[in-house]
Amino acid sequence: MSWVLAFAGFAVLIILHEFGHFVAAKATGMRVERFYLFFPPAIAKMKRGETEYGIGAIPLGGFVKITGMNPDEELPPDVAPRAYYHQPVWKRIVTIAAGPAMNLLIAFLILFFLAFGVSEPTQDVGEIEPGSPASKQLQPGDHIVAVDGARGDQVDLARAVNRHKCEGEATDGCKAATPARVAIERDGREQLLRITPEYDADLDRSRLGFTYATNPVNPSVPGAARISVDFMWQVTSATVSVIARLFDPDQREQISGVVGGYETTRQAIEFDARRALTLIAIISLSLAVINLFPFLPLDGGHILWSLVEKVRGKPVPFSVMERAGAVGFILVLILFLVGLSNDIDRLSGEGFNVR
């Protein structure tokens, strides 16, 4: 079932992205020839009015075919006035931007509704794993004050614990050579405990074996919107940062492709519905951000050249856009191949570690 749901999630994102282009094109008076989920050859199609609707056999995307996307194309006199390149620049920008805008809207709405169930982290001990180092000394409700004298948030404290390494080569479950000095507050009194961390091979770090408790935020409507926008900004910054450093080996390893996004979504659906919805929102947002990169054949490339035409006051020669499109296609292909290569490495290695 998780395979079906993950596939359906991707299909919905594609359909809504293309639906954004479709609605905007129709609303601005353009002639839409085709509206397809996936790429040809068609396995099912029907025609309603002037538009052919169909499902392709290659599940790698979707498309809306608007008449006159090639400015040099010869069109019948009754069709030409409604062609894409015969429209004002603002109409073309609205039509192209509507696809990424739909992805942004999807991401915002999902994250907005999820925000009402969000919890904020605390530094109080929550669940303790049986048999772990923490189970011998910590109790639920203990407040973690510091580790080895270092104070901070959960990440800072985890880093302090991780400084305690096993002797020799680390193996799963090996005990650190030195204990961590964990300052806690229990029943209003501060205590100092010495707990020896164990190495977790799945997480590739030393840990004590407990989770932190959380408190529900219960945001207002504006608060939920703020949480959604803040999260979207973090994801956008991370996406742009990774792609901008495409040729940095460490950053390049973080890029994932269609296979990775699909498999991660499938695993998240098996594990937790909330996590799956969050992941779908992230993928939708990433699709919007990547599509807005300013080179053809991405949506951002079409928007860029429309703006160039507006500034120079006359159309840009199609030959110039073709050359720019060739460069853009190479960049998109590199991004796709890097993502696919990383996905194959993960699938054949340790997996995507959603859990």
- Summarised one tens digit per residue, pLDDT across range 202-226 is 888 999 999 999 888 888 999 999 9
Give the pLDDT of residue 175: 94
pLDDT at 91 over 90: yes
Domain edge (last residue) among 184, 199, 216: 216
Whether residue 186 is found in the same domain as residue 245: no
Whether residue 180 is found in the same domain as residue 91: no
Establish if 352 belongs to a structural domain. Answer: yes
Task: Report the predicted TM-score, pTM, of the whole model to 2 decimal places.
Answer: 0.72
pLDDT tens-digit readout, 240-294: 766 666 555 555 555 554 444 444 444 444 456 777 788 788 888 888 888 888 8
Whether residue 124 is found in the same domain as residue 246: no
CA distance 118 to 274: 10
pLDDT at 336 over 60: no
Establish if 38 belongs to a structural domain. Answer: no
Whether residue 149 is found in the same domain as residue 204: yes
Establish if 57 belongs to a structural domain. Answer: no
Whether residue 112 is found in the same domain as residue 189: no
CATH of the domain at 175: 2.30.42.10
Token pair for 21: 């282009």
Establish if 172 belongs to a structural domain. Answer: yes
Most confident among 21-25, 110-114, 313-317 (mean pLDDT): 21-25
Is the CB of residue 121 less than 8 Å from the CB of residue 206? no
Domain edge (last residue) among 199, 216, 233: 216
Q: What mean pLDDT value characterizes the chain?
A: 82
pLDDT at 346 over 50: no
Domain edge (last residue) among 153, 188, 216: 216
The count of C-alpha atoms lying within 13 angstroms of the C-alpha of 174, restricted to the half-sphere facing its C-beta, is 16
Q: Residue holding tokens 């945001």?
A: 219
Establish if 49 belongs to a structural domain. Answer: no
Higher-pLDDT residue of 336 and 258 is 336
Establish if 67 belongs to a structural domain. Answer: no
Task: Kindly state the average pLDDT of the residues 122-139.
Answer: 92
Establish if 86 belongs to a structural domain. Answer: yes
pLDDT at 25 over 90: yes
CA distance 144 to 193: 11
Higher-pLDDT residue of 73 and 2 is 73
Whether residue 251 is found in the same domain as residue 338: yes
Task: Kindly state the average pLDDT of the residues 153-178.
Answer: 92
Give the pLDDT of residue 95: 96
Higher-pLDDT residue of 93 and 10 is 93
Least confident of 92-106, 217-231, 306-320: 306-320
Q: Residue holding tokens 């006035």?
A: 81
**Cβ atoms within 10 Å, residue 141:** 13
Q: Is residue 317 very low, low, confident or very high in pLDDT (cuts 50, 70, 90)?
A: confident
Whether residue 101 is found in the same domain as residue 125: no
Task: Kindly state the average pLDDT of the residues 30-59.
Answer: 90
Token pair for 348: 């054949």
Share of the chain above pLDDT 90, in %: 44
DSSP at 58:
E
Of 135, 155, 142, nearest in space to 198 by CA: 135
Q: Is residue 349 very low, low, confident or very high in pLDDT (cuts 50, 70, 90)?
A: very low
Query: What is the pairing mode between strands 210-216 and 119-128?
Result: antiparallel
Whether residue 263 is found in the same domain as residue 253: yes
Establish if 232 belongs to a structural domain. Answer: yes
CA distance 269 to 182: 36
Whether residue 148 is found in the same domain as residue 242: no
Task: Kindly state the average pLDDT of the residues 59-78.
Answer: 85
Whether residue 229 is found in the same domain as residue 303: yes
The count of C-alpha atoms lying within 13 angstroms of the C-alpha of 219, restricted to the half-sphere facing its C-beta, is 18
Domain that holds residue 248: 77-117+221-355
What is the domain count for the chain? 2
Whether residue 262 is found in the same domain as residue 350: yes
pLDDT at 23 over 60: yes
Whether residue 239 is found in the same domain as residue 313: yes
Q: How big is the chain by its Cα radius of gyration, in Å?
A: 26
